[in-house]
Amino acid sequence: MKTLKQLYPPYLLAIIIYVQVVLLYVNFNLFNPRELLIYLSWLPLMMLPYFFTKKKVFYIIVISLFFLEGFINLCHILVIKSPLNASSLFVLMNTNINEAKEFINLKFHFDWLLVIPYIFIYYLALKHPPTIVKQKGSIYIVSAVLLFSVIFISENLINNRLIRKGIPQTAKAIISFNNQMRTYKALKLREVNNIEVKLKTSDQYPHVFVLIIGESCNRNHMSLYNYHRKTTPHLDNRRDIIVYTDVVSPYSNTIGALLTALTESNIDNKKDYDKSISLIDIFHSLGYKTFWLSNQAPIGVWDNAIYNLAKTSDICAFVNNSANTSFESTYLLSYDEKLFQPFRHSLSDTAKNKFIVIHLMGSHSKYAKRYPPNFNKFNFANNNKEKTINEYDNSIFYNDFVVDSLLNILNEYCNNNTIAAAIYFSDHGENVYDENDNVGHDYADFLPNANVEIPFIVWCSPQYQSLYPDKYKIILSNKEKPFVTDDLFHTVIDINDIDFNGFESDRSIFNEKYNTNRKRILEDNKDYDSKTK
């Protein structure tokens, strides 16, 4: 017992457990017992120098590191009601002193006093370091504890999930933030590339391709995909769309999902985004005029690296300019219908061929801010859980109107000579009490299906169907085949009949050579098909 106390000092354990107890109190749904297992694995390894040398300085270093890590996490839990994450670090980076003061005044609560006992426990830990007394048989106890630690850490390392599941939350947030900043800085320097590419068919007719990117849309909340509520009445009634039934996103976050969808990088090749050819490069090199129309904020938590890719377009229009960051924008009103007019302007541009990306706010939390009052269709609730589901379903109801309207605008634009096609898909899904009694697209242990199961809809003009009858037939026949949107790059090249050296036909779901046997290994090594079986 004394040996265990030396490897797991009681006051140090109290520091660790205290933060988790506060999280349980503040937000029970976000408590993850695995976090305690992670600490129990790392703590004895960090205590070894003190155990063998008996020098107090090593103990002070270890306990101060754990205190500082826990203090940062505790403050975040008390203010934001959740453990520290990379998004919070992005927000902090984009916040000035006055904004911070206003935020603190807004968020102040007497729960903040819970910091005081935490500091007192640290004081006691400093005053009472464990006495190192090596007893008979202690080497066996130490060996057993260290073996447990090594097995736990090695298992996560071998399965490529050490950062995701094998280190404390604060360290995970800092590493994730650092990785995303590297991507952001690399893409910031990126310019549009000219590559060898051409249309296979005659360029006699005007070509238009529209990519509509949704946000946080779980297809299982769409009546189009047999949801019990009538949330997509407009799309349900359309007879000119092809609904793909088995499409998933590779990531449950916007940056990973979209940078793999819009470039040749995918979850298999893991090619650096800044060194990957993008769809904007492809269409620019074809002589298309490229447009990026977005209702997401251009800077901040989720859209920073995406913005750097978007700005390589000929025309960038961001209609959501009321917020300082993309995090702040989620708490303000900016309805997606604001994109209708910029879309009309883009279609009426004098350029012969056009590639238009439309990035919606979709169903991004906060859900109640995503739709106008007249779309508040589902409003009866007995509790907060039902209220949240209602708000999410209302955002899907409004998104149905938006996507339907965009397709109608495109259809109205098309004349007898215009070859037009469009794809609508969501960056990732959203868990709205569908699994693990959780809300959002974050997750603690296993990636929920709700986070990645997304809609995927194809629209082709009559002129397109006439020019590419064989291709359209394949598009129709493949609608039930499994697909991951990190291969959207090849799929878009295929639907536009583009000749490009880097095109891989087996990765395009619109191709007769499409590989339906590709293992869908997603973020965090989730084997999607094995899981669903």
Tens-place pLDDT, residues 406-425: 999 999 998 778 999 999 99
Residue range 208-532 in CATH 3.40.720.10: yes
Is the predicted pLDDT of residue 98 greater than 60, yes or no? no
Amino acid at 172: K
Please confirm whether the linkage preceding 366 is cis (ω < 30° from 0): yes
pLDDT of 94 reads 52
pLDDT band at 324 (very low <50, low <70, confident <90, very high): very low
Kindly report which listed range (155-164, 282-291, 404-413) carries the lowest average pLDDT score.
Answer: 155-164
Distance between CA atoms of residues 488 and 79, nearest Å: 39
532's tokens = 């669903």
Q: With pLDDT > 90 as the criterion, what percentage of the chain qualifies?
A: 53
Is the predicted pLDDT of residue 249 greater than 80, yes or no? yes
Is the predicted pLDDT of residue 232 greater than 70, yes or no? yes
Better-scored residue on pLDDT, 203 or 70: 70
Contact predicate 80/173, CB 8 Å? no
Is the predicted pLDDT of residue 114 greater than 70, yes or no? yes
355's tokens = 């590639």
Average pLDDT over the chain, rounded to an integer = 86
Contact predicate 479/242, CB 8 Å? yes
Q: What integer is the mean pLDDT of 324-337?
A: 64
pLDDT band at 533 (very low <50, low <70, confident <90, very high): very low
Distance between CA atoms of residues 124 and 217, nearest Å: 49
pLDDT of 105 reads 61
Q: What integer is the mean pLDDT of 460-465?
A: 95
Distance between CA atoms of residues 305 and 309, nearest Å: 7
Contact predicate 273/267, CB 8 Å? no
Sign (positive/negative) of CA torsion 423, 426, 428, 433? negative
Is the predicted pLDDT of residue 329 greater than 60, yes or no? no
pLDDT of 366 reads 83
Contact predicate 494/510, CB 8 Å? yes
Tell me how many helices (H) and strands (E) the chain has: 21, 13
Contact predicate 96/328, CB 8 Å? no
Distance between CA atoms of residues 334 and 377, nearest Å: 19
pLDDT band at 524 (very low <50, low <70, confident <90, very high): confident
Name the DSSP class of 524: G
458-470 burial code (b ≥16 CB/10 A, e <16): bbbbebbbebbee
Instruction: Provide the H-helix boundaries in 380-441.
Output: 384-413
pLDDT of 40 reads 87
Better-scored residue on pLDDT, 311 or 209: 209
Rounded to the nearest 10°, the torsion over CA 153, 158, 161, 167 is 20
Sign (positive/negative) of CA torsion 501, 505, 506, 509? positive
pLDDT band at 303 (very low <50, low <70, confident <90, very high): very low
pLDDT of 88 reads 66
Better-scored residue on pLDDT, 98 or 276: 276
Report field, pTM of the whole predicted structure over 0.85: no
pLDDT of 489 reads 98
pLDDT of 302 reads 43
Contact predicate 395/215, CB 8 Å? no
Is the predicted pLDDT of residue 398 greater than 60, yes or no? yes
pLDDT of 84 reads 79
Q: What integer is the mean pLDDT of 189-209?
A: 86
pLDDT of 191 reads 82
The domain segmentation of the chain, as residue ranges, is 2-183, 208-532
First-last CA distance in the chain: 45
pLDDT of 133 reads 63
Q: What integer is the mean pLDDT of 65-71?
A: 92
Is the predicted pLDDT of residue 363 greater than 70, yes or no? yes
Q: In sequence order, which residues have a C-beta less than 8 Å from that of residue 367 and are 6 or more positions away?
A: 388, 391, 392, 394, 395
pLDDT band at 164 (very low <50, low <70, confident <90, very high): confident
Query: What pLDDT, in 10s, does the model give residues 383-394?
Result: 999 999 999 999
